[in-house]
Chain A
Amino acid sequence: MTFLCNQLVVEEMSKLKLIIVREFLAKVRNRAFVVMTFVSPLIFAGMVSLIIYLTSVNGEDKKLITVLDQSGLFLPELEKSQSISFLHFRKLSFTQAKDSSLQIGASGFLFIPDGMEIDRLNEEIQFYSSNSPSVSTLSNIEQRIERKLRELRLANYGISKEALSKIDTDFELNTSSFTGSQNLKGINEIKAFIGSAFGYLIMMFIIIYGSFVMRSVIEEKTSRIVEVIISSVKPFQLMMGKIIGTSLAGVFQFLIWIVLGGIVLIALTFWLGIDLQQLASTNAVANDSIEMMNANSGDLSKVNLYFNEILTIPWVGLLLLFIVYFVLGYLIYSSIYAAIGSAVDNETDTQQFIYPVIVPLILAVYVGGFSVFDNPDGPIAVSFSLFPLTSPIVMLMRFPLGGVPWWQIVVSILLLILTFIFIVWLAAKIYRTGILMHGKKISYKELYKWLKY
């Protein structure tokens, strides 16, 4: 008897395997899939190059600002920098200076009147430009003037620059976790970002390959082959085979992308490597000249600290959780997609059912994301990481930050498994009725009726 049972199981498994292989091949051989696999990295690389190119072009555009500083106080502050150069007029009247600014085509004209109290000066300094100036230019100039004004005020109060530098303390709150290790500022954001990347990956995968599953169900239904197939296999087998086959095709596509991405990245570093270094060094020089940055060596050790901190993320745990949440989350959502596909006659009818599916995904990424960044153990973050339709994404955002109680992980996975069983059962019920139903506009009420068939 057990032998017979085993034989049956083996047979059913081999049928499932057949379906998976067919679905995989059908997907992978599809022309659109091939194009998407090989062209989209090119598009992506092209876009990145375009952005880099445009940014560099944008950066090269140096602004020329003319200055008429009648007070003579600000001259030392207004030295040229990487993005702005200043042309100082001397012994010109306001109108003359303004006119000649226009003639030489300067981007702006800064007028600083003479002989005023500092408080009035504050009000009277004017910036003229033909078109609205960029925010970065304005803030650049504002910073310079602010610095000088502050210096002047301090001098008024009788405080020297040296005295100030002694008073001025650069204070940053040093945070540590209770376990003792020192935290770096901003590291939490970086960690949450890493988690978000995983969560986002899950969401994209669900949306892209979930709708592939749905389309494939619709195709089988409208081509009417489905009745032939389910006279050989259980509808549930067909549904699961379809979901698994399509997701394998998806994983395969991602692998290709990773490999291609690696190649492109290596190629890019070879091609642009020197340029990038140069860019970095000129940046450093520019920074030095306006005395904005502190010692560079300190930053380098900080980078190392950040790097070490990122390494302290429990990567093995994170990857394991990623796999668990990915598999369960994807199975839940793609069975919903399969059920939707089975219920309709064509893709345009799917809209009313798809929105409710996408809403929790979007909520997970955005609401969950914000609250995790804001407060990883706050009520919103915790409940989103427990609620099964959002937990695959939100828990992965929380986890790298550390400090997620193990019971929350256990509860969220348990809830996910229960939901998985329930949803797949529900979807299978809808699916096996839906695939044989033709020419009927389906409402939620109708779907509910199918559950009782």
Chain B
Amino acid sequence: MDHLLVANNITKKYADYVALNKVSISVPTGSIFGLLGPNGAGKTSLIRIINQIILPDEGYLTMNGEPSKPDHVKQIGYLPEERGLYKNMKVGEQAIYLARLKGLSKVEAKEQLNYWFDRLNINHWWNKKLTELSKGMAQKVQFVVTVLHNPKLLIFDEPFSGFDPINANQIKDEILQLREDGATVIFSTHRMESVEELCDHIALIDKAEKIVDGKLIDIKREYRSNTFEVALEAAENMQLLKQIQQEFRTSPAHFKTIGNELKLNVHLNSDQKANELISYLASKGTVTHFVEKVPSVNDIFVQSVSSRGDE
């Protein structure tokens, strides 16, 4: 697989504090990559290293196979967690300034800005100062600034924080469109559930170390526990439960249905098949709910952190 960005054994220390300890990630070209982990795990340090804001103490980066060089920052669009623009500068003016710092000519910058302002319907903001805009509006401008120079790699730190749901959706759609058009996207966040459905690759980072990475589907397969969430309509719930418990390992399940069913998590052993469970349940009552419990990234994170702790 083609990798747009590879970070190899990156170590970063701040005096005695280790922010990153031999972290390696590979971001496939055209993917949406989730860099996930709790606050303070080292995500922002890694992102800053990718943006060449800080240098790693050890390890190296490659972009498109080339070792990292200053020119690469032109191909990156970065939305930092801490958003901000010049308060007393006109929106259009500062967007053009920031685009030119990324290497665009004045004309190109203007063209791009026109395109994006039209697209997001914010053309009348051009001559406004940032102080005249609301926080959500400023975030939109910030998004435009991030993508203005057509970067190949888009990095969003805590992407949807600060957006109201409508704007968040609009921005999400724009990001997906950019990916369609060939960009590679990195989402970095501690709110893992917020990007789970978008990411196709993830890396989990905790306490300066990478604990899991790879294709999200593969990871989920690896962490699947053969657990099924079922709801069964029958006359005698308690009796039924006892019967099932003789055949299968179960645990109480918590989800909502509209009836008064027996709700269970059923854990299958390696020699038990899902189909056998369905036929068994069907013979006992009406199955109204049957879903494989796929572990969420959160679950995977908790599980992998605790298993690391056991070591």
**Do A and B interact with each other, yes or no?**
yes
Mark the stretch among B81-89, B182-190, B193-201 that contacts chain A. B81-89
- For residue A263, CB closer than 8 A to chain B, the reply is no
Instruction: Pick from B48, B71, B100: contact of A8, CB below 8 A.
Output: B71
Flag A200-243 by CB within 8 Å of B: 1 or 0 each.
00000000000000000001100111111111111100000000
> A8-B70, A8-B71, A452-B15 are known contacts. Are A233 and B101 too (CB-CB below 8 A)?
yes
Instruction: Pick from A225, A233, A234, A453: contact of B14, CB below 8 A.
Output: A453
Instruction: Pick from B54, B84, B103: contact of A225, CB below 8 A.
Output: B84
- For residue A153, CB closer than 8 A to chain B, the reply is no
Instruction: Pick from A8, A12, A230: contact of B53, CB below 8 A.
Output: A230
Residues A18 and B101 in contact, CB atoms below 8 Å apart: yes
A161 to B76, CA, bound (A): 97
Residues B84 and A18 in contact, CB atoms below 8 Å apart: no
Closest to A232 in B: B101
A231 to B50, CA, bound (A): 9
Flag B1-33 by CB within 8 Å of A: 1 or 0 each.
000000000000011000000000000000000
Instruction: Pick from B82, B98, B142, B145: contact of A438, CB below 8 A.
Output: B82
- For residue A22, CB closer than 8 A to chain B, the reply is yes
- For residue B51, CB closer than 8 A to chain A, the reply is yes
Give the shortest distance, in Å, between B154 (CB) and chain A (any CB).
Answer: 12
A19 to B98, CA, bound (A): 10
A225 to B89, CA, bound (A): 12
B72-128 contacts to A (CB < 8 Å) = 73-74, 76, 78, 80, 82-89, 97-98, 100-103
Give the shortest distance, in Å, between B9 (CB) and chain A (any CB).
Answer: 19
Give the shortest distance, in Å, between B130 (CB) and chain A (any CB).
Answer: 8
A178 to B97, CA, bound (A): 61
Closest to B71 in A: A8
Flag B166-210 by CB within 8 Å of A: 1 or 0 each.
000000000000000000000000000000000000000000000
Report, as a range, how many residues of chain A touch the other chain: 20 to 34
- For residue A440, CB closer than 8 A to chain B, the reply is no
Instruction: Pick from A19, A228, A453: contact of B78, CB below 8 A.
Output: A228
Instruction: Pick from B53, B70, B89: contact of A26, CB below 8 A.
Output: B89
Instruction: Pick from A18, A19, A223, A436: contact of B86, CB below 8 A.
Output: A223
The A interface, classified by DSSP as helix, strand, loop or mixed, is: helix
- For residue A15, CB closer than 8 A to chain B, the reply is yes
Residues A453 and B15 in contact, CB atoms below 8 Å apart: yes
- For residue A166, CB closer than 8 A to chain B, the reply is no
* Chain A residues within an 8 Å CB radius of B71: 8
A432 to B80, CA, bound (A): 16
A17-51 contacts to B (CB < 8 Å) = 18-19, 22, 26, 30
Give the shortest distance, in Å, between B151 (CB) and chain A (any CB).
Answer: 10
Residues A449 and B87 in contact, CB atoms below 8 Å apart: no
A234 to B71, CA, bound (A): 12
Across chains A and B, the number of contacting residue pairs, with CB separation under 8 Å, is 67
* Chain A residues within an 8 Å CB radius of B80: 224, 227-228, 231
Give the shortest distance, in Å, between A443 (CB) and chain B (any CB).
Answer: 14
- For residue A374, CB closer than 8 A to chain B, the reply is no
Closest to B145 in A: A228
* Chain A residues within an 8 Å CB radius of B15: 449, 452-453
Residues A15 and B101 in contact, CB atoms below 8 Å apart: yes
Flag B36-75 by CB within 8 Å of A: 1 or 0 each.
0000000000001001111000000000000000110110
Give the shortest distance, in Å, between A7 (CB) and chain B (any CB).
Answer: 9
A99 to B5, CA, bound (A): 104
Residues A229 and B98 in contact, CB atoms below 8 Å apart: yes
* Chain B residues within an 8 Å CB radius of A235: 53
- For residue A11, CB closer than 8 A to chain B, the reply is yes
Closest to B157 in A: A227
Residues B88 and A232 in contact, CB atoms below 8 Å apart: no
* Chain A residues within an 8 Å CB radius of B74: 232
Residues A436 and B53 in contact, CB atoms below 8 Å apart: yes
Closest to B98 in A: A228
Residues B53 and A227 in contact, CB atoms below 8 Å apart: yes
> A223-B87, A436-B53, A449-B15 are known contacts. Are A231 and B78 too (CB-CB below 8 A)?
yes
Flag A63-74 by CB within 8 Å of B: 1 or 0 each.
000000000000
Give the shortest distance, in Å, between A88 (CB) and chain B (any CB).
Answer: 73
Closest to B82 in A: A224
* Chain A residues within an 8 Å CB radius of B101: 15, 18-19, 229, 232-233
> A228-B145, A231-B76 are known contacts. Are A223 and B84 too (CB-CB below 8 A)?
yes
* Chain A residues within an 8 Å CB radius of B88: 26, 30
Closest to A448 in B: B15
Give the shortest distance, in Å, between B199 (CB) and chain A (any CB).
Answer: 22
* Chain B residues within an 8 Å CB radius of A230: 53
* Chain B residues within an 8 Å CB radius of A438: 82
Closest to B103 in A: A11
Give the shortest distance, in Å, between B38 (CB) and chain A (any CB).
Answer: 19
A452 to B12, CA, bound (A): 12
Residues A231 and B89 in contact, CB atoms below 8 Å apart: no
Closest to A29 in B: B88
Most buried by A among B53, B80, B98, B100: B53
A225 to B141, CA, bound (A): 12
A452 to B83, CA, bound (A): 27
Flag B136-151 by CB within 8 Å of A: 1 or 0 each.
0000001001000000
Residues A224 and B84 in contact, CB atoms below 8 Å apart: yes
Instruction: Pick from B51, B82, B97: contact of A18, CB below 8 A.
Output: B97
Closest to A224 in B: B84
* Chain A residues within an 8 Å CB radius of B51: 231
* Chain A residues within an 8 Å CB radius of B84: 223-228
Flag B262-294 by CB within 8 Å of A: 1 or 0 each.
000000000000000000000000000000000
Instruction: Pull 15 A–B residue pairs with CB atoms less than 8 Å apart, ordered by A.
Output: A26-B86, A26-B89, A219-B87, A223-B87, A224-B84, A226-B84, A227-B53, A227-B84, A228-B78, A228-B80, A228-B84, A231-B53, A234-B70, A453-B15, A453-B54
Report A's interface with B, CB cutoff 8 A. Answer: 8, 11-12, 15, 18-19, 22, 26, 30, 219-220, 223-235, 432, 436, 438, 449, 452-453
Q: Given contacts A224-B82, A225-B84, list 4 more A-B pairs with CB under 8 A.
A: A11-B103, A223-B87, A227-B78, A232-B98
Task: Report the 7 A-B pairs with minimum CB-CB distance, sorted nearest first.
Answer: A224-B84, A232-B101, A224-B82, A227-B80, A231-B51, A225-B84, A231-B78
